[in-house]
């Protein structure tokens, strides 16, 4: 076999994961979001605030501490290690992400363009270099100099797929410490049509950084079908609900949504796991 043939085989084949999960999980705190996802067989990105103070970004003399952009977040954690992610960790006072969730086949996610994020050691050369090149671009914008838009958009995509190893984040209006690397995060970044790529940040447009505005912008994305993840029943490996009552309600939703394909609906319902049944076995 030639070197080219070996490379081609590597590109075309799919090798299951051994040290990480073969499922990507998205958890949420409210049942209504899970029901909406299953009822419509879609997942909807939302605008999320990210702390970027570790990069020491500035535009003019104003420091940028937080940015906001649309995404959907998933964790790459084996099922038997999900408890801290779902429930939280009392040792660090870190809150969990909720007991309602969807687990998607990782191969399918890769085909849809999901991307694992890069975790930056804030004392590393990689972190310093990213900070420096982003600040050069921001300075050019501030001075209204010509800038290669495609190149700056590429830098913003790198920023959107970066996170420090550890840091703080707001969860339900509480600032908590997080070991982000433990979450092994993947992200889906939607293409937003008819939307000039804006660098939403707390320095130049703080009015767009409030929870109320982020919620409004997120609702607006629901009117843009190309931003959604269109779910396929075969791609869904797990559906998590908190209680038996939640399970029964979700089964009713699936029954109504899959009247024309009962077998497919029953197969989807069989993937429901009740969290209160399994948490003692983790």
Tokens of 259: 């009247």
Closest-CA residue to 164 (of 56, 261, 51): 51
Measured distance CA(161)–CA(76) in Å, rounded:
15
pLDDT at 231 over 90: yes
Tokens of 5: 């043939």
Structure-token match 């069989």, residue found: 270
**pLDDT tens digit string along 120-150?**
999 999 999 999 999 999 999 899 888 888 8
3-state secondary structure of 12: helix
3-state secondary structure of 52: coil
pTM exceeding the 0.75 threshold for the entire prediction = yes
pLDDT of the residue at 89: 79
Q: Are strands 88-89 and 174-179 parallel, antiparallel or unpaired?
A: unpaired
Q: Work out whether the CA dihedral 123, 127, 132, 136 comes out positive or negative.
A: negative
pLDDT of the residue at 146: 83
Closest-CA residue to 235 (of 122, 139, 76, 104): 104
pLDDT of the residue at 9: 46
Q: How far is CA 153 from CA 137, 156, 206, 221, 249, in A?
A: 10, 5, 21, 20, 43
Least confident of 34-38, 71-75, 256-260: 256-260
Phi, psi dihedral angles at 279 (to 5 degrees)? -65, -30
pLDDT at 6 over 50: no
pLDDT of the residue at 248: 96
Strand ranges in the chain using DSSP code E only, listed in sequence order: 23-28, 42-43, 46-51, 57-59, 62-64, 66-75, 88-89, 94-95, 100-105, 115-116, 118-120, 162-164, 166-171, 174-179, 185-188, 200-201, 229-230, 236-241, 272-274
Measured distance CA(179)–CA(67) in Å, rounded:
20
The residues, any chain, with a CB within 8 Å of residue 94's CB and separated by 6 or more, are 84, 88, 171, 176, 177, 178
Tokens of 222: 């629901």
**pLDDT tens digit string along 161-182?**
999 999 988 777 778 888 999 9
Confidence band for 206, pLDDT divided at 50, 70 and 90: very high
Q: Work out whether the CA dihedral 259, 260, 265, 266 comes out positive or negative.
A: positive
Measured distance CA(95)–CA(175) in Å, rounded:
10
**pLDDT tens digit string along 15-64?**
899 989 999 999 999 999 999 999 999 999 999 999 999 999 999 999 99
3-state secondary structure of 232: coil
Higher-confidence position of 134 and 281: 134
């Amino acid at each position: 076999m030639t070197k080219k043939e070996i490379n081609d085989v590597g590109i075309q084949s799919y090798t299951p994961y051994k040290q990480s999960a073969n499922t990507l999980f998205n958890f949420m705190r409210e049942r209504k979001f899970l029901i909406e996802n299953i009822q419509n067989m879609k997942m909807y990105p939302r605008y999320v605030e990210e702390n970027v103070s570790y990069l020491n970004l500035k535009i003019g003399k104003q420091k940028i501490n937080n940015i906001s952009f649309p995404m959907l977040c998933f964790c790459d954690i084996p099922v038997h290690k999900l408890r801290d992610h779902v429930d939280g960790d009392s040792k660090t006072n870190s809150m969990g992400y909720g007991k309602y969730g969807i687990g998607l086949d990782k191969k399918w996610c890769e085909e849809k363009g999901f991307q694992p994020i890069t975790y930056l050691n804030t004392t590393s050369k990689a972190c310093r270099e990213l900070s420096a090149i982003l600040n050069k671009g921001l300075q050019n914008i501030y001075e209204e100099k010509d800038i290669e838009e495609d190149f700056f958009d590429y830098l913003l995509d790198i920023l959107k797929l970066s996170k420090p190893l550890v840091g703080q984040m707001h969860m339900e209006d509480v600032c908590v410490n997080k070991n982000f690397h433990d979450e092994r995060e993947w992200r889906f970044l939607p293409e937003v049509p008819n939307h000039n790529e804006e660098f939403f940040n707390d320095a130049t447009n703080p009015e767009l950084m409030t929870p109320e505005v982020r919620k409004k912008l997120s609702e607006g994305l629901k009117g843009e079908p190309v931003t959604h993840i269109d779910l396929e029943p075969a791609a869904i490996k797990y559906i998590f609900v908190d209680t038996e009552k939640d399970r029964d309600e979700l089964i009713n939703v699936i029954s109504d949504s899959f009247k024309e394909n009962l077998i497919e609906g029953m197969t989807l319902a069989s993937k429901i796991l009740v969290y209160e049944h399994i948490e003692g076995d983790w």
